Structure 1
Amino acid sequence: MRCGVIGLGDMGSGLAKNLVKGGFETCGFDMTPARNAALADMGGTPLQSVAQVGAATDVVFVMVMTGAQAKAVILGDGGLLETMAPGGTVILTATIKPSEAREIGTALEGTSLRMIDSPVSGGFPGAQGGTLTMMAAGAPDLLDHCAPVMDAVSASIHRVGTTAGEGQTVKACLQSLLGSIFSATFEAAALAAKAGVPGQVIYDVFSTSGGGCGIVNTALQKIIDRQFEGTGSHINTMHKDLTISMGMAEDLGVPLHTAASAMQIFTAGRTKYPNGDNWVATRVIEEIVGAELHREAAK
């Protein structure tokens, strides 16, 4: 299968890199010239438009930021619906509202294209390492057909449904949990800083306790090393994902008390440090309490 990737940022570049590594002919497009150049460096073929990618591929991964962007790429003028050959497949790996994914799926019904709704989890390390978790919703035969290219970019593929929107629904539930874990970690880090506990001690204890997990461990490492920008996990992404989770909860009448608090913590971090990554929200809390957590060993 000839593969394409639309959106070559922190996540999309990882998809492209692992498709190339898996032996697939891979092209892509991004609005940022430097990202297109990086695709060439990794062995892929940068193209000049979505239309060119559609015309050159059998399977296209769409890894953009918003539902509006996804709809434009797939359904808009010069989009994949117009340019991919009959029988082509769109794999929607972007995280968007379930309702937006359903809208795209409905628009594709009766056309020559098919779609797999499969948002991913694993962040920048998972994308670059080819170890993402995929929450895939699509027809069983289509999932079987696309298994080789999905295997190339992931470590776990969960079949969570058969129709567009079901993958996004599972992702919204997951992000409500991850956002809450992140924000609790930020608060615990600030508490330790104010209490005078060395950052290395907190990391060693937390990472080997029942509270240790990928989210907690990564966040603490970034906090105690004061790495708040350029780590591949921009705060805008989690803020957007929590917005989706809260919106879905509102529609369903489900109270998300903890996720709502997390949303406010991420909003504060995003407002104060708009160029920061997820863990930069810790700095806002640290500034309130007047203490910072650094990587220093026990005294």
Structure 2
Amino acid sequence: MRMSKVGVIGLGAMGSGMAGSLRRAGHEVFVCDARPGAAEAFARDGGVACANPAELARQCSAIVSVVVNAQQTEAVLFGDNGAAAAMHAGSVFIMCSTVDPNWSIALEGRLEALGLHYIDAPISGGAAKAASGEMTMMTAGKPAAYAACEGLLEAMAAKVYRLGATAGNGSKVKIINQLLAGVHIAAAAEAMALGLREGVDAAALYEVITHSAGNSWMFENRMAHVLKADYTPLSAVDIFVKDLGLVLDTARASKFPLPLASTAHQMFMQASTAGFAREDDSAVIKIFPGIELPKPAV
């Protein structure tokens, strides 16, 4: 693997793990985060903390952006002290957020006009897999862009799917993944809520379902949070308000019906407006009336 200077912008649950994977692979990792102290905390174990995206961009041949949405990506690239104007010609920008596929397609053209390469590279797998380098990347980009980040994607992910020779298909596949993820969390919450309403022991229900045909990865993962009454956000309710909104926007453009995604989106919207916006997405279970949720262990 060719060693290089790599920048990671956004050190949240996924970004910090990805930066750590790059560091373990021997790359010199430059980091930047909007939260005071986050970059410095990462750099204490190796790496370089940067004050803003422009400072980071001047020192790197590749930038991995792991911020929340398109708006934040715009700020990273084109805002005050943005990366785009500071990147060297021929550098590559790897965009890992969940965004409107059409926005991602347009971004490729905007960066090409500046002499920069672009990889549309949404991610999935959760914080634990990001930290261990075992997550999934859904990528699309031009051959020259892949050549510019040779080895970097594989350093961060166990599965790197190349889905198209131009940007767009990476984001489209991620949108479809988020449709399933959101629906599965909503269905898991509904099932657990019904069990609680009917007086079934929550731990017993979890044990049975996770060893039966009705199980899903989201039921097993998210309902464990409910059993512990731990709604610390690894992925917040509002993430699925956003992501399922993108799913519906994508389908609406071609008048394609998505009845399950629409219902799940309404459930997350209800949870958000009820005050649970920043809690873990499993908090969607709190919208169901007449149930007593598990309490934290004393």
TM bracket (short chain) = over 0.9
2:158 maps to which of 155, 160, 176: 155
| CA deviation profile, 1:245-283 (whole Å, cap 9, x unmatched) | 111011121111001110011111222212311001112
**Where has structure 1 moved over 4 Å in runs of 4 or more?**
293-296
1:257 maps to which of 220, 241, 259: 259
Q: Do the aligned partners of residues 162 and 211 (structure 1) sit closer, same or farther apart at CA in structure 2, a change above 3 Å counting?
A: farther
**Is the Cα–Cα contact under 8 Å of residues 122 and 139 in structure 2 kept in the other structure?**
yes
User: What TM-score, normalized by structure 2, do the two folds share?
Assistant: 0.92
TM superposition shift of 1:144: 4.9
Task: Say how many residue pairs are matched.
Answer: 293
CA RMSD of aligned residues (A): 1.9
Identify the residue that residue 119 of structure 2 maps to in structure 1. Answer: 116
Identify the residue that residue 176 of structure 1 maps to in structure 2. Answer: 179
Distance in 1, Cα, partners of 2:174 & 2:252: 16
SS of equivalent to 2:128: helix
Identify the residue that residue 91 of structure 1 maps to in structure 2. Answer: 94
**Is the Cα–Cα contact under 8 Å of residues 59 and 90 in structure 1 kept in the other structure?**
yes
Amino acid across the alignment from 1:289: G
1:43 maps to which of 37, 46, 50: 46
TM superposition shift of 1:145: 4.8
SS of equivalent to 1:289: coil
**Is the Cα–Cα contact under 8 Å of residues 11 and 124 in structure 1 kept in the other structure?**
yes
Gaps of 5+ in 2: none
Identify the residue that residue 290 of structure 1 maps to in structure 2. Answer: 291
**Is the Cα–Cα contact under 8 Å of residues 198 and 293 in structure 1 kept in the other structure?**
no
1:21 maps to which of 19, 24, 40: 24
Distance in 1, Cα, partners of 2:6 & 2:225: 34
Distance in 1, Cα, partners of 2:67 & 2:163: 21
TM superposition shift of 1:109: 2.5
TM superposition shift of 1:14: 1.4
Q: Do the aligned partners of residues 197 and 144 (structure 1) sit closer, same or farther apart at CA in structure 2, a change above 3 Å counting?
A: farther
**Is the Cα–Cα contact under 8 Å of residues 12 and 63 in structure 1 kept in the other structure?**
yes
Distance in 2, Cα, partners of 1:253 & 1:220: 34
Distance in 2, Cα, partners of 1:216 & 1:143: 36
Distance in 2, Cα, partners of 1:81 & 1:110: 11
Gaps of 5+ in 1: none
Identify the residue that residue 195 of structure 2 maps to in structure 1. Answer: 192
User: What TM-score, normalized by structure 1, do the two folds share?
Assistant: 0.92
Amino acid across the alignment from 1:113: L
